[in-house]
Each structure stands twice: as C-alpha cells, then as structure tokens.
C-alpha cells in the first residue's frame, strides 16, 4: 500500500472515530443517571458505551501514531523488529504498528 492511500485511509478512520467518540461522549450526565437507575443488570448501555469509548480512544491513538510514522517515513515497518508489515495486514488494519509476530508476542505478555 502506498503512502497516499495509507494516509487517506487513516484520515478517514480518524474522522469516523472522532464522530463515534463525539456521539459516545455526547451525554455523559444522561449516561451516568441511566446507569445508576439500572445498577441491577451487569452490563448497562452506559457500560457498553464506556467500553466502546475505550476501544475507540485506543484505536484513535494508534491511527494518530500511524499518521506520525507516515510523516517520519517509517510507516509500514514494524515498530519492534523493523521488518516490513505485510500489505494484507495493513489493508485490514492500516493503523497496525507491528507485524503479526511482534503483535502476538506483545499480546501474550499482557
Ligand atoms: Zn515485528
């Protein structure tokens, strides 16, 4: 994947994430009150919104890091082993910072 395509895709993902984060953060008071009223169930809409917000915020950070790597000319290389990240992986996740192997190692450490 060339840098121009990567940048376009990353910027689109970023715009989508910003929109989702805006919606999820739209009514924090309402979400809190709703969650207090519904404290009996184990997973409320507010919990779900919070979980989605966490995922979106984490992904947003990854996308911004990827755009930074594009600026620095290191995009498409694994940040750990510096081998090229396969195109297929970047197609699926343009914000991927690591090759499958290094990402796997990282996730097992958690
Ligand atoms: Zn790697």
State the Cα–Cα distance between residues 6 and 8, nearest whole angstrom.
Answer: 6
The pLDDT score that the predictor gives to residue 40 is: 55
Pull the structure tokens for residue 72: 């620095």
Give pLDDT tens digits for 47-80. 888 899 999 999 999 999 999 999 999 999 999 9
- Rounded to the nearest angstrom, the distance between the alpha carbon of 67 and the centre of ligand 1 is 18
Evaluate if residue 9 carries a pLDDT over 90. yes
- Rounded to the nearest angstrom, the distance between the alpha carbon of 73 and the centre of ligand 1 is 17
The pLDDT score that the predictor gives to residue 101 is: 95
Q: Do residues 21 and 71 make contact, with C-beta atoms less than 8 angstroms apart?
A: no
- Rounded to the nearest angstrom, the distance between the alpha carbon of 54 and the centre of ligand 1 is 25
């Amino acid at each position: 994947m060339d840098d121009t395509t990567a940048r376009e895709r990353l910027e689109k993902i970023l715009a989508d994430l910003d929109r989702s984060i805006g919606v999820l953060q739209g009514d924090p008071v309402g979400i809190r009150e709703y969650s207090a009223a519904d404290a009996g169930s184990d997973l409320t809409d507010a919990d779900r919104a919070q979980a989605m917000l966490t995922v979106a915020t984490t992904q947003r950070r990854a996308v911004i890091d990827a755009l930074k790597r594009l600026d620095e000319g290191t995009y498409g290389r694994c940040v750990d082993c510096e081998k090229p990240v396969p195109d297929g992986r970047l197609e699926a996740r343009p914000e991927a910072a690591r090759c499958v192997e290094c990402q796997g190692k990282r996730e097992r450490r958690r």
